[in-house]
Amino acid sequence: MEITSFVLGMLSIVAVAIVAVIVVGMLKINKLEKSNENLQQLCVAIESDLRRLITDTNRELTMVERTIMQRIDKEVEETHRHINNEVGEIHRHEHELETVLHHDIDETRRYIDSRIDKVVSSGTLKEPKRQILNG
């Protein structure tokens, strides 16, 4: 009987040890599952925060890009307007110069014509004025 008691005692100790190991294992598994759930929730929260940050950053970048493009367009318009004004001024000055030049040429022709008429009328030049002017 002693052996049977001993064997039953040993079996009961082994059974208690196995049950204890199973309980500890189950507790650790539950703890790990909770930790896993917390980590998954944290990952989901981080992912949503990252998506929101990326969306906000993209929106801000788009706004900055639009602002820069508007400024560039405004500067280009002002530059074109300035260039067109300067070209207009140049054309006005060209027209004024042409007018003055034509006036000076006409004055010079009248002066030369009057001088030739004076010479012809004084009798020192025998050729007609038209022949002199045409060369």
Residue 38 domain flag = yes
pLDDT at residue 55 in the model: 97
Query: Locate tokens 């309980």: which residue?
Result: 23
Give the mean pLDDT of 81-98: 89
Stated pTM of the model: 0.49
Residue 66 domain flag = yes
Residue 30 domain flag = yes
Residue 10 domain flag = yes
Give the mean pLDDT of 29-46: 96
pLDDT at residue 40 in the model: 96
Quickly state the pLDDT bin for 130 (edges 50, 70, 90).
low
pLDDT, mean over the chain: 88
* Residues 6+ positions from 129 with CB-CB distance below 8 Å: 113, 116, 117, 120
Domain coverage including residue 29: 2-90
**How many separate domains does the chain show?**
1
pLDDT at residue 127 in the model: 59
Q: Long-range CB contacts (< 8 A, 24+ apart) of 15-19?
A: none
Q: In degrees, to the nearest 5, what angle opens at C-alpha 122 toward C-alphas 119 and 127?
A: 55
Contact criterion met (CB below 8 Å) for 107 and 91: no
Residue 40 domain flag = yes
Quickly state the pLDDT bin for 28 (edges 50, 70, 90).
very high
Residue 111 domain flag = no
Q: Positive or negative, the Cα torsion across 29, 30, 32, 37?
A: positive
Residue 113 domain flag = no
Least confident of 21-25, 26-30, 33-37, 109-113: 109-113
Give the mean pLDDT of 55-66: 97
Residue 50 domain flag = yes
